[in-house]
Amino acid sequence: MDINCNSLGHKRLLPYNGANIEFLTKNMKLPANRVFDVLSVLGISSDDLISFLVNERIKNRSRSKSEYTHQLYRRVNTEMNPKISV
């Protein structure tokens, strides 16, 4: 997997765990560089985001896909980064 993290905004995310980034890339269906963008915007580590996604997936298995996605992004914005309001 080719992971580039060379922009100035991403330097604080280094060193990164390649396995975590690969996991997020596959599960979020985003290129690796976009995963770095998501982590940078949210201001959290890849471990924290993986834990959050796994917990949300377990809690929300019975919800419809669109309802799950809406709730996921809403909770990420409010719980993981309280300075961002939805």
Tens digits of per-residue pLDDT, 48-57? 888 887 777 7
DSSP 8-state secondary structure symbol assigned to residue 9: G
**CA–centroid distance for 34 within its chain:** 10
pTM above 0.95, yes or no: no
Query: For 47, phi and psi rounded to 5 degrees?
Result: -60, -45
pLDDT tens readout for residues 57-69: 777 666 666 666 6
Sequence ranges of the domains in the chain:
17-80
Residues 6+ apart with CB under 8 A from 20: 46, 47, 50
